[in-house]
A and B are shown apart, each in its own frame.
Chain A
Amino acid sequence: MKFERYGIGIVKGLMVTIMHLLRHPTVSQYPEQRLNTSRRIRGNEFIWDQVKCTGCGTCTKACPQGAIEIVTSTSQEENKYTVDKYQIDTGYCIQCGLCVEACPYEALYLGYAYECAKYQRGELVQTKEMMLESPLRKASGYFSPKRAAKLPKQTLLLERITEKK
């Protein structure tokens, strides 16, 4: 390849930089403009379906960190386990999603929200009452195409700023 030695390489570089002044910066101002995350985002919250869960414990075995804790008791009338305690410590959780993939009854989902910071470490533990689905606590479409189809489309940088190059 021909090396430009006479200062032309420097001039070309300067031209590239100055052209960027005329382009739209690839920045979105965070609290005012939020981008849509992926439909399959593995957020920090968990959504648990009390009706479908049978307390089988497959999710607990699949979790690499051991963050899920289930305590069940037998219930003679309904002939199934009642789940007394279902608790996920999201401080341990690494959001890998293996528990969601492992559940055979589709009773566990990852959340769609990502702004879940808390002030105390104890508040990171999510218990079964907190994890029920509600309009404020949407489930993400990870491993569940039906739910993914209902969520808004992800903003892609490719489409947001189309550059003619």
Chain B
Amino acid sequence: MMPVLNFGIHHQVFIPAVPPDWPGGFWWHWLFFTVVIIAFVLTMVMGAIYIERRGMGRMQSRLGPNRTGPFGLLQPVADAIKVLLKENIVPVKADKLVHWLAPVVAFAPALMIFAVIPFQDGALLADLNIGILYIVAISSVSTVGIFMAGWASSNKYSLLGAMRNVAAIVSYEMPLVLAIVGVVLIAGSLSLNRIVIAQDIPFILLQPLGFFLFFAAGCAEINRSPFDLMEADSEIVAGFHTEYSGMKFAMFYLVEYAEAIAIAAIITTLFLGGWRGPLLPPWLWFVTKVMAVFFTMVWTRTTLPRIRIDQLMALAWKFLLPLAVINLIITAIQVLASWPDTLPWALVMIIVNFTILAVLVLLWSKFFFRLGWGRIEV
């Protein structure tokens, strides 16, 4: 059976904000989904913390936390209670307003990303028809929050960490967005709901290079290993959140995991088919896929060492960006060229794309991977 992919240009369809059969109309829809999203994010963050600590522990040949509650399931709750009860210390020379505002500015975008991610067919807070563009715009706002935190702490370590963070995030926006554009070209729409509906074959098979780029750039955006030099424990104590304690530190901690879940959710929606799946209810498939992607992030965190800031920038500009542009060109060519219906079109495209991924990574590693640079004469 040949899967059918729609490569034509969609005519403009007016997508209403609320499905017509929703009881109560607009405001009940908004209230229901706001509560669902906040509950979802908080629960998934707790689940993520639990998976990370247990998973990382098992991979390091030890157990994770297993004393609080059966199998340690209440450990995130214990963490939250501990952090709430801590004293809120603000350094004397710190800029008080900015210090207070920074966690808020950093956390709000992480929540707002979930407004456009579909949990089920049509089940979103707002089915914007510019969904993915909204996500890209909003996710850059957390950088401002992080820089505010680094500046307001009046601590040299924090400033170093914050500046590294800004440099890294600005560099990685480009490959991120270009990888997204590849997916958008195939699906034909910016709205996340329609992207999921268009995935008869998950886009990870059709866009392996895009998936790799998005995963790498996404890990860099959320300061996770191997790109976690912004909060490198062994170098600059804790980076931009050195001077935070109590609930504000909990907000930063939450931001880190909420953004990790957000990137995992975006990857699931764009590349893995969102809520599509055979037997289980759709939202269960969604949660499973998000947790699987998150587990891969935990896996890379456990294994890989950290890279240095100038190597990070070199990776972004010299490796990921050219690959993203090439990916875009090749996807565009594949979308425009309509092959005859007799060939199993998708299978050929899959094989061609994987080959291109392998060839590009090999070529770049062979010619551009230099070791031992970076020393400046003083």
- B and A form one assembly: yes
Residues of A in contact with B (beta carbons under 8 Å apart): 5-7, 10, 13-14, 16-18, 20-21, 23, 25-27
A27 in contact with B365 (CB, 8 Å): no
Interface size on B, residues (CB 8 A): 18
Closest partner residue, chain B, to A3 (CB atom): B371
Given A13-B303, A13-B304, check contact A6 B365 (CB 8 Å): yes
B61 in contact with A25 (CB, 8 Å): yes
Measured between C-beta atoms, what is the minimum distance from B299 to chain A in Å?
Answer: 6
Measured between C-beta atoms, what is the minimum distance from B64 to chain A in Å?
Answer: 9
A13: chain B residues within 8 A (beta carbon)? 303-304
From A7, A16, A23, A26, B365 is in contact (CB under 8 Å) with A7
B57: chain A residues within 8 A (beta carbon)? 25
A25 in contact with B62 (CB, 8 Å): yes
Does B361 belong to the interface (CB within 8 Å)?
Answer: yes
From A6, A18, A27, B63 is in contact (CB under 8 Å) with A27
Does B13 belong to the interface (CB within 8 Å)?
Answer: no
Does B375 belong to the interface (CB within 8 Å)?
Answer: no
Known interface pairs A5-B365, A6-B366, A18-B59; 19 further A-B residue pairs with C-beta atoms within 8 A, sorted by A's residue number: A6-B361, A6-B362, A7-B361, A7-B365, A10-B303, A10-B304, A13-B303, A14-B299, A14-B300, A17-B302, A20-B58, A20-B61, A21-B55, A21-B59, A25-B61, A25-B62, A26-B62, A27-B62, A27-B63
Measured between C-beta atoms, what is the minimum distance from A3 to chain B in Å?
Answer: 9
From B59, B63, B362, A17 is in contact (CB under 8 Å) with B59
Within the assembled complex, what's the spacing in Å between the Cα atoms of A142 and B304? 45
Does B60 belong to the interface (CB within 8 Å)?
Answer: yes
A23 in contact with B61 (CB, 8 Å): yes
Can you give 28 A-B contacts (C-beta < 8 A)? A5-B365, A5-B366, A6-B361, A6-B365, A6-B366, A7-B361, A7-B365, A10-B303, A10-B304, A13-B304, A14-B299, A14-B300, A14-B303, A16-B303, A17-B299, A17-B303, A18-B59, A18-B299, A20-B58, A20-B59, A20-B61, A21-B55, A25-B57, A25-B58, A25-B61, A26-B61, A26-B62, A27-B63
Within the assembled complex, what's the spacing in Å between the Cα atoms of A18 and B55? 10
Within the assembled complex, what's the spacing in Å between the Cα atoms of A26 and B362? 39
Measured between C-beta atoms, what is the minimum distance from A55 to chain B in Å?
Answer: 50
A14: chain B residues within 8 A (beta carbon)? 299-300, 303
B63: chain A residues within 8 A (beta carbon)? 25, 27
A23: chain B residues within 8 A (beta carbon)? 61
A27: chain B residues within 8 A (beta carbon)? 62-63
Measured between C-beta atoms, what is the minimum distance from B119 to chain A in Å?
Answer: 29
Task: Kindly identify, within residues 335 to 378 of chain B, every residue whose CB is under 8 Å from any CB belonging to chain A.
Answer: 361-362, 365-366, 369
Measured between C-beta atoms, what is the minimum distance from A22 to chain B in Å?
Answer: 9
Task: Kindly identify, within residues 254 to 298 of chain B, every residue whose CB is under 8 Å from any CB belonging to chain A.
Answer: none
Within the assembled complex, what's the spacing in Å between the Cα atoms of A25 and B56? 12
The interface bits of chain B over 37-72 (1 if a CB of A lies within 8 angstroms of the residue's CB, else 0) are 000000000000000000101111111000000000
A26: chain B residues within 8 A (beta carbon)? 61-62
B55: chain A residues within 8 A (beta carbon)? 21
A17: chain B residues within 8 A (beta carbon)? 59, 299, 302-303
Closest partner residue, chain A, to B358 (CB atom): A6
A5 in contact with B369 (CB, 8 Å): yes
Measured between C-beta atoms, what is the minimum distance from B133 to chain A in Å?
Answer: 31
Within the assembled complex, what's the spacing in Å between the Cα atoms of A86 and B142? 69
Measured between C-beta atoms, what is the minimum distance from B263 to chain A in Å?
Answer: 19
Closest partner residue, chain B, to A4 (CB atom): B365
